[in-house]
Structure 1
């Protein structure tokens, strides 16, 4: 135990967590600062949250971001799940190598290259940039993350369960919906949340593919930060942190509850 909990290990953990989370804690604290100067503490106040909710341009950007995130995450989850099923269940088909490469390419592709290529595509087909181009771009780069998460769960899935369902009269589609999908649902939900978080966080690709009336919240924040950081920006970031933290906690609770139910079912069967 002495070697495992030496002062060096404890110091490394403390400094590591401080490096990661101390800036976030300071951001949250200074979002309640009375002063307009973010580096000077002048007392506790929530006035910047009031200023934020009176800023119509910021609210419009948040609404665009939310709609893009919900739509792109949902479509990417459906397509990514289908891609994962194809890669796991169909071991050989013509063009498998090309299909696999196209699915996983956005994982290693720089955001600048992805954004520029999508911009050239939309310009070449004369597709006006706006809400739908940003949504399509987010579907494109988040689909691969969903496919990776779902595929890792499908690899360990017992196919005999589906075969038993089909022996009892289910069609392959019914067997998938009633047997496979409930088992892999935690992975599907995790993929959706990951895609939604990536959409909320994206700045580079959205900058290339957005147009008039389709300014996302990261783009709005970046444009205002270039003129100087204000406590209102800290308030926006604090709300985003709270939303992401809440989502992570909900997903963790769901996964733990699912694990408890599975363990209880296994004990009852034994």
Structure 2
């Protein structure tokens, strides 16, 4: 079975619930299937991956948002039926595949969740209502999260006998620590707005009607700083967890020298 192709045509993306709008240095990626609470499918994931691959190089900040009352209700449950989603690998098909086949399929799915942390952009998820499973992991894929006061995060995979496999376990653990991440995943419980901010999962919580404005305000603040300084700072912070204190200080010195030379107009 060959999965349907999703190319670079925005009309193809829209058919599977994804829209891209570019406003100068700001890109807005919208999940736009509110009738199904933005339930996710492999086709949606291929569209999101395609958005990441074709994003204009002038874009500095990406805001991920969703239409309707929910950010995303997670994976389309039709994937778990015997017939699955037409043209896609069903859960049963994936389970019956070899290690190599299943790993390759999941790796393709993960691409939709991993490009948000690439070094040349800063990404912000604006999250309202339910963000369940794959929806939770998609929000975790972004660098920053602004949430509405009605937000409800839940990692339901473990409760279904599965594991979170779309890149969410690393950022969740980095944000809230191992013990809390294990508790959230193993119980599948709901995490609301107040707790999200308190434990570092979200940067800011606002009333639902202010969510769009708050995300845009944050994007504007990020765009106010020089691009190369933001890129260098993001790289320093992303790598900090894997470095010793002395290694981090060394990385800071090297990054600062690059910035000084750039500001002074001194080439390599």
Q: Shorter-chain TM-score category?
A: under 0.3
> Using CA pairs below 8 Å that are at least 6 residues apart, which structure has the higher relative contact order?
1
Determine which structure has the larger strand proportion and give its number: 2
Determine which structure has the larger helix proportion and give its number: 1
Q: Normalized against structure 2, the TM-score is what? A: 0.25
Q: Normalized against structure 1, the TM-score is what? A: 0.25
- Determine which structure has more spread, i.e. the larger CA radius of gyration: 1
